[in-house]
Amino acid sequence: MLNSQVLVKVPASTANLGPGFDTLGMALSLYAWIQMEAVDGETVIELYGDGLNGIPTNKSNLIYKVAQMVFEEAGVHIPEIRIAMYSDIPLTRGLGSSASAIVGALVAANALAGGPLSEDKLFQMASALEGHPDNVGASLFGGIVVSAWDGIRAEKVRIVPHENLEVLVAIPSFQLSTEKARHALPAKLDMKDAVYNVASSSLLVAAFASGNLELIPFAMRDKLHQPYRAPLVPGMSEILEQATNHGALGVALSGAGPTLLTLVDRGSDRKAELESFLLRTLEQHGIEAQTMWLAPALNGPELSVVHGDRSESFMERIKGEVKA
Ligand SMILES: Nc1ncnc2c1ncn2[C@@H]1O[C@H](COP(=O)(O)OP(=O)(O)OP(=O)(O)O)[C@@H](O)[C@H]1O
Ligand SMILES: N[C@@H](CCO)C(=O)O
């Protein structure tokens, strides 16, 4: 049975967490909202807030295209839809905006179609659409998600983040597309660097799973992608080398960048020192940035089916939840 109107709140995510390239992801307490309903007239796409500037509002929009894939897979015919979206997740900064859009669209369209596709099916579709499962897994399941994708099937294990983990991100004002940041990577790696990353990533997963936060600074180091991406983000090398001397538990490039992410112990008394170190270092390299204190998001998408009175506007519906 088709639902009439659905609203999905979906978390942002950080991928890699240093060594876990294309494999590790963590959902973050920063959100996008997508509302979807079938309409008799033409498709309408409404984007709210300043953050979505430049996103198309025609049928080339990612959310519309993903929704149509769901309807096709489900064998239902809903050619014209109304989509409304608001997002606090900055675009093309390494905070999983594209993964959140894909996951939000999959969950909303599936709910609109009455929920015919399983969560696993949505994960498989999301991994194929994004090309790697790290961000989409985190946005879909919440928490820390360890995933592997062989190009056909993705498998995952979800880890509940330690309750003391807090996240400080420094978000540069410039955009860096995943495509560009992937082009910076070498075609081949040294065996010793590969071994270094297998060791670090395995240890990091074990540290998260056992709640052993002391291992994070040692385990979060990477030689697979960050050294090659550092020239794209002025100040990054210095931040990766020194953030743990300024109170961070661990530090990494968030996803494909340019955002830098630090894990912080909630009880730390060095939060202000760390925040000013990140901003000062980027500024010394001519980079404007904003910091944001976030937490790991424990849950994936929150879905509500809107029954009855639909005169309330989209922004009225999500008002009170959006970032002040
Ligand atoms: N809400 C949206 N609607 C349509 N397209 C979107 C939306 N959000 C993101 N996108 C598309 O995704 C692109 C950004 O994807 P990209 O993978 O480069 O960065 P990211 O997802 O923000 O960061 P990362 O993958 O490194 O965490 C945008 O430029 C836009 O084309
Ligand atoms: N694992 C991906 C995340 C960005 O989409 C990368 O680092 O390129």
Give the residue, 73 or 313, on which the prediction is more confident: 73
Overall pTM > 0.90: yes
Give the residue, 105 or 79, on which the prediction is more confident: 105
Q: Residue 269 CB: number of other CB atoms within 10 A?
A: 8
Mean pLDDT rounded to a whole number for the chain: 95
Quote ipTM for the complex: 0.96
Say which CATH topology domain 165-294 has: Alpha-Beta Plaits (3.30.70)
**Looking at 19-28, 95-104, 183-192, 310-319, which range is the least confident one?**
310-319
Cα 306 to averaged position of ligand 2 atoms, centre (Å) = 34
How many Cα atoms within 13 Å fall on the side-chain side of residue 51?
Answer: 18
Ligand 2 mutation pick, 13, 95, 134, max ligand atoms within 8 A of CB: 134
What is the C-alpha separation between 103 and 100, in angstroms, rounded? Answer: 5
Q: Residue 324 CB: number of other CB atoms within 10 A?
A: 3
Closest CA to 216 of 285, 173, 176, 166: 166
Give the residue, 87 or 79, on which the prediction is more confident: 87
3-state secondary structure of 201: helix
pLDDT at 6 over 70: yes
| pLDDT, tens only, 275-302 | 999 999 999 999 999 999 999 999 999 9
- What tokens were used for 136? 């989409």
Given this model, what pLDDT does residue 1 score? 52
Domain residue extents for the chain: 5-160+297-318, 165-294
Instruction: Name the percent of the chain lying above pLDDT 70.
Output: 98
What is the C-alpha separation between 101 and 45, in angstroms, rounded? Answer: 13
Please, are residues 101 and 32 in contact by the beta-carbon 8 Å criterion? yes
Own/partner long-range contacts of 184-191 (Cβ < 8 Å, ≥24 apart): 184/228, 184/229, 184/231, 184/232, 185/225, 185/228, 185/229, 186/228, 189/224
What is the C-alpha separation between 276 and 270, in angstroms, rounded? Answer: 10
Given this model, what pLDDT does residue 322 score? 84
Which CATH architecture describes the domain 5-160+297-318? 2-Layer Sandwich (3.30)
Q: How confident is the model at residue 79 (pLDDT cuts 50, 70, 90)?
A: confident
Given this model, what pLDDT does residue 289 score? 98
**Average pLDDT rounded to a whole number, residues 130-139:** 97
Give the residue, 322 or 14, on which the prediction is more confident: 14
Q: List binding-site positions for ATP.
A: 90-100
What is the C-alpha separation between 178 and 191, in angstroms, rounded? Answer: 25
Cα 223 to averaged position of ligand 2 atoms, centre (Å) = 15
Helices 119-130 & 62-74, crossing angle to 10 degrees?
A: 140
Given this model, what pLDDT does residue 324 score? 62
The residue contributing the CA closest to ligand 1 atom 5 is 62
**Average pLDDT rounded to a whole number, residues 258-271:** 98
14 touches ligand 1 (CB under 6 Å): no
Cα 98 to averaged position of ligand 1 atoms, centre (Å) = 3
**Average pLDDT rounded to a whole number, residues 149-159:** 97
Q: In angstroms, what CA-CA distances link 294 with 81, 180, 238, 243, 305?
A: 33, 26, 22, 17, 28
**193: which residues sit within 8 A by CB, 6+ positions away?**
223, 224
Cα 253 to averaged position of ligand 2 atoms, centre (Å) = 10
Apex CA 135: angle with CA 130 and CA 140, to 5°? 100
- What tokens were used for 3? 């639902």
**Average pLDDT rounded to a whole number, residues 59-66:** 97
Which ligand places an atom closest to the C-alpha of 178?
1
- Common-topology check for domains 5-160+297-318 and 165-294: no
pLDDT at 2 over 70: no
